[in-house]
Amino acid sequence: MSPRVLTALPVFNEADHVAEVLDHVRQHCDEILVVDDGSSDGTADILAQQEEIHVVTHDNNTGYGGALRTAFQYSIDHGYDVLVTIDCDGQHQPQLIPELASRIYPEVGEPVDIVSGSRYLSEFDGDSIPPEDRRRINMKITQELNERLGLGITDSFCGFKAYRTVALENLGVTELGYAMPIPVWVQIARLGLKVVEYPVPLVYLDEERSFGGSLDDANRRLAHYMDVLNREIAVPC
């Protein structure tokens, strides 16, 4: 029997993109969850017109991590075998959804717990030049995770991932904002979960995306991410 796969999109004020992205996602998966994280721009009205998707709506904006926490729990509660997460800003390629999902349960070998997209494993025609501050921060946090936890990853912040749902039962989302991946990586390392990376194109369509208040300053954002990392590592096992 084939694994049940759910593709989840965290969405906040994506009225300009969500319908088009969903049209593309539908071509590559059967079951879709949209977590509307308190949108106020008409996104909810667009989602109400979409057929054959699951929607969970947050009354208030909780943050990127908060939306993914809801997606994690939904996949567990509804008995899916694999959860694929994909952002709604157009930077990920939905045609890769089956590729990521299929690597959770390979034809040969043991199951994989997380297949993590990496924008730095391979070069693709048309790759973007990443904003310098984002690349620098990603590389710094990735280096810290590798050196302190022995992970051996190349891209700690890519949101395009596939998870074996049984592994999600042991992961807790403790950061609700964009720092969300950092504590999750710490938990992955401590639990000894099996991770493989999969090369995905490097695409930035919204170079001016806000990270929220003072975090739009790159140095403050990096300092915040380091605080989150240090705090999570200090949590007793």
Residue 10 is predicted with a pLDDT of 95
Q: In CATH terms, is domain 5-234 a member of 3.90.550.10?
A: yes
Q: What H or E segment, with its residue span, contains residue 128?
A: none
Q: Cβ(25)–Cβ(92) under 8 Å?
A: no
CA 22 to chain centre: 16
Helices (H), 38-126: 43-48, 64-77, 97-102
The pLDDT, as a whole number, for residue 206 is: 53
DSSP character for 53? -
pLDDT in tens, the chain (237 residues): 789 999 999 999 999 889 999 999 999 999 999 999 999 999 999 999 999 999 999 999 999 999 999 999 999 999 999 999 998 765 668 999 999 999 999 988 899 999 999 988 867 666 556 667 888 999 999 999 999 999 999 999 999 999 999 999 999 999 999 999 999 999 999 999 999 999 998 765 554 565 566 677 889 999 999 999 999 999 887
- How far, in whole angstroms, is CA 98 from its chain's centroid? 16
What's the pTM?
0.92
- The predicted pLDDT at position 215 comes to 75
